[in-house]
Every structure is written in structure tokens, then in C-alpha cells.
Amino acid sequence: MKTIKGMKFETLISENDIATRVKELVKEIAEDSDGKEIFVIGILKGSFIFLSDLLRLFNVHNIHPSLDFITVESYGSGKTSSGKLKMLRDITTDIENKWVLIVDDILDTGRTLAFAKEYFLKKKPASIKTCVFLDKPERRVNEFKADYVGFEVPDKFVVGYGMDYDNLFRELPYVGVLSDEEDT
């Protein structure tokens, strides 16, 4: 068990396992997009590290996607979703008739990605797919399923690789499970 800033956690997914799986995901996306121009929408803040790794590897498959970001808030500073979604930042590009890929860090309750997909379907893309780094199916409150999934994880609070607890631990190159225990 590791301790950082007085908080304990165990490594769940190693840096090497992440790198391997991201390469596999990019290959799957490249095959499915079949040479079409990809427009990527990242959901901030948690997706930024995963998304940057995906983007760097698209070049290997001669894919040069366009990119924009949205910010949807549902957590605040707690460990569980409030269930209320709020769009804090929208894309600035027209996505009509484009092959769209929405990228998020974690598929938990399913509310954020369902909200985002429904929102962007109204903008009439040619296709819309979703890609998540982590999937917690035990937490789902709807029937939403991502098209591309990095790893399925248990119902534990995870940090690292862009995911945070109260804005801490995003920089970790691996994923850890945060413990409720704190050092005193």
C-alpha cells in the first residue's frame, strides 16, 4: 500500500498495462473508423491523460483527428456522483456529418456519457462512438454501454491517470484504489 499526502491506496492497473491497452484501443478505433475523418470530444477534466495517449497513437495508424473538449460536472469534491449534470463548457465546432468519438475517463453511473451522447446526437453527426478508460458496470443506473473500454474495474474509488480525489492524484501514471483509511 502506498501513501501520498496522507492518503493510502493500492495500485490496480500498472503503467505498462495501461500503455498496452491504449495501443489496442487505438487499433480498434482505427479499424472501425475505416479511414474516415475522426472528430474527438474529450470530457474534461478526467479524460485528458487518456485522451492525450490515444491522440499520440492515432498517428501510428495515419489518423489525424480534430479535437475539442466539453466539461460536464457531476462530482464536485466528493467521492460519489451527485446525479445532477451541468454543462460547463461546450464544443465550438460543427460536428454535422462527422465521425465523432466521445472520450471519458470512467463509465460509472452512465449518466455523463448518456447525457453527452444524447446532446451530440442532436447535432447530427454521421456516427457517434464512445470510448472510456475504465468501466464500473456495478454502478450503472442506466443501460449505457461504451463502444470502446480500456478496463473493467470493481466498484472502488480509483485515482491516477487523470482521475482525481478532490483534484489530487491526476498525475499518477497508474491507477490506484483509494483507501478510506488516512494516516494520522
Cβ(61)–Cβ(27) below 8 Å: yes
Q: How far apart are CA 113 and CA 119, in angstroms?
A: 10
- Which alpha helices (H) appear in the chain, and where do they start and end? 15-33, 48-58, 111-121
Backbone angles phi, psi at 109, to 5 degrees: -70, -25
- The DSSP bridge partners found for residue 71 are 44, 89
- Catalytically active residues are 108
